[in-house]
Amino acid sequence: MPVNALSSLFAPTPGSRHRPVVIWLLVVFGMIGAMVVVGGITRLTGSGLSMVDWHPLMGALPPLSEEAWREVFLRYQASPQYQQVNHWMTLGDFARIFFWEYLHRLLGRLIGVVFFVPFVWFVIKKRIQGRLLWLCAGAFVLGGSQGLLGWFMVKSGLVDVPEVSHFRLAAHLSLAFFVGMYVLWLAASLVSQDARPLTRRVSVWWPVAAIGALAVQVVYGAFMAGKKAGLLFSTFPDMNGSMFPETAFYQDGLVANLLDNPVFIHAFHRSWAYLVAVVVVAFAVRVHQSADHDAPRAVAYTMGALVVVQVLLGVLTVMYAVPVSLAVAHQGVAYLLLAACVLAAHLASPHKAS
């Protein structure tokens, strides 16, 4: 399917007052996707606990002198991660992990600026007003909450045990995905194709099932990362000879196994992926069958292609013991796959933001 068919989803009619706003929202959406990728690298390289302080307004500059670097390193040396895990590190080693966490936080601040400054300008110029103004303001509040949640997550690894809570990690990742999809929906709601619904109605349960299944998978993907469960089994399709290991239920209580047992988390994440693939493909087929123009067909093809790529990346990630490149690609494609499903849901249930 031609790329221009998919891009036409975001092609406001010539002279449309919404064109700059749509472009701005798409830039923010893309930056959030980059943030998800950098966050994945930060997590996988063990860099997330390298900055033990949080200065949301004054922390944009890195250490600029050797004395400043030594001061930052000294604070890190007092943390559980250094004392229990990275006590071998030199200042040079520390600088390498500091880079990813610093970049992650800097990108978060940059997203805030890229969102807020044009937002104020659009409000002044009355490009954004009424209901759309409040919806965009909500996106800004959610983005700020994401920064607070990120620090809340990091704090969990700065006391006693140098590991962040996998629950807080899942909340942090889930909110990033949600904010990205929220911004994407706003952008899609402003384009001219809003007036072109699908020829035949697609039941609301299809997008609900697809997006819901993906949301659960994102949460368990964060659990996988937080519990390092991806390293448990490197065989496929079985898990060391079993399709669902008995040790998945070794803890006392169902809830403990569902939420805290690394074996169950790994087995569930694998098994749920099959359901996600089936539901997403079925939703894509329904969208394709109900389309009367190229844009929704392109979305349907994109959904199908991305879900195949995502499953393959997941398989390769566990088989090769979670290399950073594959694991980060797996997380990034998850963001794009959810975006494709959100676009399909938008086409199935057109909605205007203004």
Q: What averages of pLDDT result for each successive group of 10 residues across the chain (354 residues)?
A: 55 66 96 97 94 76 89 94 93 94 94 97 93 95 94 90 93 97 94 58 90 98 96 94 91 92 97 97 94 86 97 97 97 98 86 45
Q: How many Å apart are CA 335 and CA 178, to the nearest integer?
A: 10
Per-residue pLDDT at 161? 86
Q: How many Å apart are CA 300 and CA 202, to the nearest integer?
A: 13
Assigned token pair, 231 = 């390293």
Q: How many Å apart are CA 221 and CA 270, to the nearest integer?
A: 10
Per-residue pLDDT at 13? 53
Per-residue pLDDT at 191? 81
Q: What are phi and psi of 242, to 5 degrees?
A: -125, 145
Q: How many Å apart are CA 351 and CA 156, to the nearest integer?
A: 40
Q: Which H or E run includes 213?
A: helix 205-227
Which residue is associated with the tokens 């697809």? 210
Q: How many Å apart are CA 219 and CA 212, to the nearest integer?
A: 11
Per-residue pLDDT at 201? 75
Q: Give the up-direction half-sphere exposure of residue 337: CA atoms within 13 A in the CB hemisphere.
A: 30
Which residue is associated with the tokens 């109605």? 201
Neighbours of 202 (CB within 10 A): 21
Per-residue pLDDT at 59? 65
- Rounded to whole angstroms, what are the CA distances from 299 to 32, 86, 285, 287, 342? 20, 46, 10, 8, 10
Angle at 286 between CA 281 and CA 292, to 5 degrees: 130
Per-residue pLDDT at 196? 55
Q: How many Å apart are CA 6 and CA 10, to the nearest integer?
A: 8
| Closest to 234 in 3D by CA, of 318, 330, 325, 314 | 318
Its pTM stands at 0.93
What residue type is assigned to position 94 of the chain? F
- Rounded to whole angstroms, what are the CA distances from 159 to 76, 78, 80, 84, 95? 12, 11, 7, 12, 22
What residue type is assigned to position 319 of the chain? M
